[in-house]
Chains A and B, each alone.
Chain A
Amino acid sequence: MTADAGPERPRAVLVLPGRGAYTASTLGSIPADHPLVTRAEAIRAELGLDSLLALDAADTFEPSVHLRPANASPLIFLGALLDAERATADHRLVAVIGNSLGWYTALAVSGALEFDDAFRLVQGIALLQEEAAERGITGGQLIYPRVDVDWQPVEAYAAALEAALTDGANGAQAETDDAAGGPGDGGGESRATDPDRAYPSVDLGAYVVLAASDAGLARLIEALPPVTVGERQFPLRLAFHGPYHTPLLASVAEAATERFTELPWRAPSVTLIDGRGVRFTPWATDPAELARYTLGEQIVTPYHFAASARVALREYAPERLVLTGPGNTLGGVVGQLLVGEGYHGIRTRADFESAQAGAAPLVLSMGR
């Protein structure tokens, strides 16, 4: 069986970043002469939006401009997609995963959507998010750790998260959903009637992103004990992020379904693993289901990035994880997932760092 493998390009899982990936340090990362950039610019112009190249070429990073969903999403999408194109030349991709926004990029990378359609989708969702905020559906996300600086689980943090999602900030009626577990173990219909209740939003494994209305976030920040991991303080509110992956965005899902269901969705050319840990393969994908998930469930339920990574690691056992830019926002998160899984015998942060220092690092971060 080993003879099958041959001395080929390494088997790799491609990992695409989410919002927050575009920062001051990634300014100037979009190549002006790439044909996909040209197409993106054309679509932006058609929609009456600022040039991405101009934004990317700005001298200073202006959070209110660069982090605006309608700018940040396409910048990240484009940067990640161009990296993915380069990665494909050097690796044999066995699966593609993305974190949150990265899911849309995964659709484009895998060919489930043509570039133009995927770009219109990313841009369209970002605009819908902004419209929702303008209509008063405000709120946001904060991030809180489950591990210490050595990437080992801290029970007190997990307990604080659980408490915040149940009685701490949520009233006795709220359910815990599945922030602390894997996908699929929640499932009950929401009993909460509190408009400011907290929701699990993104499960990064070592970190959890929670979302709520503005008032709900304030309550959450009050409820979660402040902790310091390394040099970062938590809970940490994510600037310019809305309450993504929660029922608060039901109207976005509705509008997106109406607007984008008819895109020419196709089976991907490489296996996609979504934010539930479900695989969409080149041979058994129903494009309509891909559309339904992307435009519905994905928008209003937690994105289990950790589950998608776990499925990729266990069922595909890649030789390498390729993290595209922009930036390297997922480097630590992926390292922590490897430690959590004990992948290739990596069980501590030190193991990971020493594996990375070797001749064939397990994780390749293109955006460093």
Chain B
Amino acid sequence: MGATHLPERGRCPMTFDRVAVVEDALDALLAGLAPAEHRLSPDDAVRPGSGLTVRRAVELFEDQVTSRQVDRAARELKKTNRSFHTITGAGHENNAVLGAQLRITDPAFLHYRSGGFMMARARQLPGSTPAFDALLGIVASREDPIAQGRHKVWGSRSLWVPPQTSTIASHLPKAVGMAYSLARARRLGLADELPSDAIVMCSFGDATVNHATALAAFNTARYGARIGLPMPILFVCEDNQTGISVPTPEGWIEATFSSQPHLHYRRARGDLDEVWDAVSEAIHVVRAAREPLFLHLDVVRLWGHAGSDAEQTYRTADEIALTEQEDPLLRNARRLVKTGAATPDQLRDLVTDARDRVWAAAEEATSRPRLATTEEVTAPLAPYHADRIAIRAAEPVLGEPERSAAFGGILPEVATTPTSRTMAGHLNAALTDELARRPELLLFGEDVARKGGVYNVTHDLQRRFGAGRVFDTLLDETSILGIAQGAAHAGLLPIAEIQYLAYIHNALDQIRGEAASIQFFSSGQFRNPMVVRLPGLAYQKGFGGHFHNDNSVGALRDIPGVVLAVPSNGADAARMLRGSIAMALEDGRVVLFLEPIALYHERDLHTDGDGGWLGAYPPPPAFLLPGEVGVYDTDAPDLLIVSYANGLRMSLQAQAILARDHGVRARVVDLRWLNPLPIEAVRDHAADCGRVLVVDECRATGGGVADALIADLAEHAFDGGLASVRAVDSFVPLGSATSAVLVGLDQVVAAAVETARRPSAAMPRRSAAGRTG
């Protein structure tokens, strides 16, 4: 490498091994500094009036140097393909000041340049080994105490640092959600491992603030403060003036955040003791006032964005060299020596020791084993302990007096008014039962409280259980899901509602990137159990249009570890909700609970007024779990119809028509769970019936489950008639035009008749019994 690779704008020849250049600069500085005439004592303030003592200052410097050496090892090991993560904290090490001053009972949601922070925070927990732990992450060892090699993340259960990748600000909403939930959990009298004055911190870069997700989080924090809620969150913007290759406009952060209503602003810059004091004040404000604060921490980025980033392609040599002169390690070393906090010799010894031990530890870390098998990698992804879930679902049991009180006198299973027996009524009753018997349960979303939900599903629940547990949120799906994650971290069990299925796409990364991944990236040490209620799917009468009738679950089904429940009738909905809550409680699962809006108030099955879609309320503890399908006409031999939700009801209508008009006895199976699919049950019934029709109301291409079911049967050598009906790949139009794109009854009947004529793959004994057509 050499001058020939320099951009033309650069004037001085430069080596591209900037790691070595930066290291040499520290050595040169320490070699050239003269000790101060006056030495301070360990308990002296570094500067009169500063809260930073000499001993803390030198410890901080050591933490910063240690972090730098871990980063250096990451780059060095990469040369021999022994490290797998080269995004470093070089230049950001003043975040160690926050690590030293925040308590380990102040949850911290960290940016990926947080090495200094972690080294300093770990000092608060005797016996910690932060350098080695970080190195194990970099080399992707399964001994990495947080992620076991699944990612290089900053995280620690004992230090209260939930891990996330933090690359696109997706961790900010849950940090806000947790700040929002701390006081709520305490008011509910729930066991809380955090002290009453705990605050939440989250850090991010200056480019990250531009993400919609980040702006949503700031907005929600301010909104909460505006309406008088305790919102003890410390936002820390580590401003290195760059987003990968794109410079942040001069003064952008201060201009944008220094004068927002309901958001305190402080800036931390200058010498180490000045940074210390600014951080100290910021923490104090948040802790005492329980209000959000934006801390603007000035840092620089050394060595490019990551190991693979050729910084010289977008910055001149002079620019790079100038940034390196701003290295906080240089500045802090000068300060420590100048104030008499340390001698140059001491700092030299400190640096030598850190280099020596971190490199030795890095070599040791590379010898540690990595995850090898699929089982090892996926172990924390989707825990499922059916026996323990069953116990969770069954307990606690409330006596009749307590239940009656919750229901205002009349238990739903003995109520006689028909409305109490629609799916909406069943869900309302099931939510009432769960709220009554589980004090940790919260229910929230847009319009769920005062209004009782757009479709009355949550009617009266706020009045019954109070605004502390049932509440309206602001209109932002990202924040609703952030509150859900934060509430779960605070020990609560959130049931969040996203008003329409289509709206979750506004915020899906909160599930995809964060909620669903926390157990994976923390090896099960952190979890955010939740149930997200999603009213959705099509067929609403009189309320049309795509955004209220979205009929695709494709983007939900491909998220690893997420459970997707879709009831088709009220009794199932109540039992599935209980199973979902039990899964969340026991195994920390994230359950998406898709409620077919068109069936909320449906009462009839075949003819108007037949009441065929009403049902008796199954009182607790009756519950359903994934794999348990609904079967209609278990002996039907001719054809298996597999469906769910609106399609299920339509399939039952078809079942009657097929028997009456076509002499076909069809068995109908309700999948109930679209993730994981009850594939074993489908295979068994398919083998029994010999022919299969999948009725999938979702969009044809990847929108539903037809592809997955038919592929599975084909791959398992099912060779009977196999067909599907699906919705058209279109957005859903208004009015009667919907029938042009949605699956209709005629279509189901026609497909069933046609499929029933095809060869059967049913077992011979079935044929011998004369039960196939």
Contact A184 B158 (CB under 8 A): yes
* Minimum C-beta distance from A204 to chain B (A): 15
User: In the docked arrangement, what's the CA distance between A333 and B360, Å?
Assistant: 23
Chain A residues with Cβ below 8 Å from B76 are: 1
The 3 A-B residue pairs with the shortest CB-CB distance in the complex, in nearest-first order: A277-B127, A317-B360, A314-B132
Contact B132 A183 (CB under 8 A): no
The answer to whether residues A315 and B73 also contact, given A283-B62, A283-B350 and a CB cut-off of 8 A, is no
Counting CB contacts under 8 A, is A271 at the interface?
Answer: yes
Contact A285 B359 (CB under 8 A): no
Within 8 A of A (CB), among B346-376: 346-347, 349-350, 353, 355-357, 359-361, 363-364, 367-369
What are 7 A-B interface contacts by the 8 Å CB criterion? A4-B356, A11-B356, A183-B126, A183-B127, A285-B55, A286-B55, A315-B131
Chain A residues with Cβ below 8 Å from B131 are: 314-315
- For A274, the closest partner residue in chain B by CB is B126
Counting CB contacts under 8 A, is A24 at the interface?
Answer: no
Chain B residues with Cβ below 8 Å from A4 are: 355-356, 359
Interface centre among B127, B129, B355, B369 (most CB of A within 10 A): B127
User: In the docked arrangement, what's the CA distance between A304 and B346, Å?
Assistant: 29
User: In the docked arrangement, what's the CA distance between A4 and B127, Å?
Assistant: 28
Chain B residues with Cβ below 8 Å from A184 are: 125-127, 158
Contact B363 A317 (CB under 8 A): yes
- For A273, the closest partner residue in chain B by CB is B127
Interface flags for A265-279 (1: CB within 8 Å of B; 0: not) read: 000000100001110
* Minimum C-beta distance from A91 to chain B (A): 14
List 9 other contacts, CB 8 Å, given A184-B126, A282-B349.
A182-B127, A278-B127, A282-B346, A283-B347, A284-B62, A311-B127, A317-B360, A317-B361, A317-B363
Contact A285 B42 (CB under 8 A): yes
Counting CB contacts under 8 A, is B143 at the interface?
Answer: yes
Chain B residues with Cβ below 8 Å from A286 are: 42-43, 55
Counting CB contacts under 8 A, is A344 at the interface?
Answer: yes
Chain A residues with Cβ below 8 Å from B363 are: 317
Chain A residues with Cβ below 8 Å from B72 are: 1
The answer to whether residues A287 and B361 also contact, given A182-B127, A277-B128 and a CB cut-off of 8 A, is no
* Minimum C-beta distance from A88 to chain B (A): 16
* Minimum C-beta distance from A55 to chain B (A): 36
* Minimum C-beta distance from A250 to chain B (A): 21
- For B336, the closest partner residue in chain A by CB is A283
User: In the docked arrangement, what's the CA distance between A304 and B128, Å?
Assistant: 13
User: In the docked arrangement, what's the CA distance between A317 and B43, Å?
Assistant: 31
Contact A342 B368 (CB under 8 A): yes
- For B56, the closest partner residue in chain A by CB is A284
User: In the docked arrangement, what's the CA distance between A317 and B125, Å?
Assistant: 20
* Minimum C-beta distance from B24 to chain A (A): 13
Chain B residues with Cβ below 8 Å from A11 are: 356, 360
Contact A314 B127 (CB under 8 A): no
Contact B356 A5 (CB under 8 A): yes
Contact A315 B132 (CB under 8 A): yes
User: In the docked arrangement, what's the CA distance between A3 and B350, Å?
Assistant: 18
Counting CB contacts under 8 A, is B59 at the interface?
Answer: yes
Within 8 A of B (CB), among A1-50: 1-2, 4-5, 11
* Minimum C-beta distance from A269 to chain B (A): 10
Counting CB contacts under 8 A, is B52 at the interface?
Answer: no
User: In the docked arrangement, what's the CA distance between A277 and B368, Å?
Assistant: 22
Chain B residues with Cβ below 8 Å from A284 are: 55, 58-59, 62, 350
Contact A307 B126 (CB under 8 A): yes
Chain B interface extent, by class = 35 or more
User: In the docked arrangement, what's the CA distance between A322 and B691, Å?
Assistant: 75
Counting CB contacts under 8 A, is B342 at the interface?
Answer: yes
Contact B359 A2 (CB under 8 A): yes
Chain B, interface SS category: helix
Contact B364 A317 (CB under 8 A): yes
Counting CB contacts under 8 A, is A87 at the interface?
Answer: no
A residues touching B (Cβ–Cβ < 8 Å)? 1-2, 4-5, 11, 94, 182-185, 271, 276-278, 281-289, 304, 307, 310-311, 314-319, 342-345
Chain B residues with Cβ below 8 Å from A285 are: 42, 55
* Minimum C-beta distance from B286 to chain A (A): 25
- For A347, the closest partner residue in chain B by CB is B369
Specify which of A271, A276, A282, A317 is in contact with B127 (CB 8 Å cutoff): A276
Interface flags for B55-70 (1: CB within 8 Å of A; 0: not) read: 1001100100000000
Contact B126 A276 (CB under 8 A): yes
Within 8 A of A (CB), among B65-89: 72-73, 76
Contact B127 A1 (CB under 8 A): no
User: In the docked arrangement, what's the CA distance between A4 and B355, Å?
Assistant: 9
Contact B367 A344 (CB under 8 A): yes
User: In the docked arrangement, what's the CA distance between A74 and B368, Å?
Assistant: 41
* Minimum C-beta distance from B136 to chain A (A): 9
- For B57, the closest partner residue in chain A by CB is A284
User: In the docked arrangement, what's the CA distance between A276 and B123, Å?
Assistant: 11
The answer to whether residues A343 and B364 also contact, given A1-B355, A185-B158, A283-B350 and a CB cut-off of 8 A, is yes
* Minimum C-beta distance from B658 to chain A (A): 59
Chain B residues with Cβ below 8 Å from A310 are: 127, 129
* Minimum C-beta distance from A319 to chain B (A): 8
User: In the docked arrangement, what's the CA distance between A78 and B137, Å?
Assistant: 42
- For B58, the closest partner residue in chain A by CB is A284
- For B126, the closest partner residue in chain A by CB is A276
* Minimum C-beta distance from B379 to chain A (A): 19
Contact A277 B126 (CB under 8 A): yes
Chain A residues with Cβ below 8 Å from B42 are: 285-289
- For A271, the closest partner residue in chain B by CB is B353
Contact A283 B126 (CB under 8 A): no
Specify which of B125, B132, B342, B361 is in contact with A283 (CB 8 Å cutoff): B342
Contact B127 A304 (CB under 8 A): yes
- For A94, the closest partner residue in chain B by CB is B357
Chain B residues with Cβ below 8 Å from A315 are: 129, 131-132, 357, 361
Specify which of B59, B128, B357 is in contact with A317 (CB 8 Å cutoff): B357
User: In the docked arrangement, what's the CA distance between A277 and B59, Å?
Assistant: 16
Chain A residues with Cβ below 8 Å from B55 are: 284-286, 289
User: In the docked arrangement, what's the CA distance between A287 and B43, Å?
Assistant: 10
Interface flags for B26-47 (1: CB within 8 Å of A; 0: not) read: 0000000000000000110000
- For B60, the closest partner residue in chain A by CB is A284
Contact B356 A94 (CB under 8 A): yes
Specify which of B58, B129, B364, B368 is in contact with A311 (CB 8 Å cutoff): B129
Within 8 A of A (CB), among B732-752: none
User: In the docked arrangement, what's the CA distance between A342 and B368, Å?
Assistant: 8
* Minimum C-beta distance from B636 to chain A (A): 52
User: In the docked arrangement, what's the CA distance between A288 and B342, Å?
Assistant: 17
Contact B126 A316 (CB under 8 A): no
User: In the docked arrangement, what's the CA distance between A343 and B369, Å?
Assistant: 11
User: In the docked arrangement, what's the CA distance between A285 and B43, Å?
Assistant: 10
- For B361, the closest partner residue in chain A by CB is A317
* Minimum C-beta distance from B276 to chain A (A): 15
User: In the docked arrangement, what's the CA distance between A153 and B59, Å?
Assistant: 36
* Minimum C-beta distance from B88 to chain A (A): 15
Contact A316 B367 (CB under 8 A): no
User: In the docked arrangement, what's the CA distance between A28 and B273, Å?
Assistant: 56
The answer to whether residues A318 and B360 also contact, given A278-B126, A286-B42 and a CB cut-off of 8 A, is yes
User: In the docked arrangement, what's the CA distance between A185 and B104, Å?
Assistant: 12
- For A307, the closest partner residue in chain B by CB is B127
Chain B residues with Cβ below 8 Å from A276 are: 126-127
- For A269, the closest partner residue in chain B by CB is B349
Chain A residues with Cβ below 8 Å from B357 are: 94, 315-317
Within 8 A of A (CB), among B315-346: 342, 346
Interface centre among A185, A281, A284, A304 (most CB of B within 10 A): A284
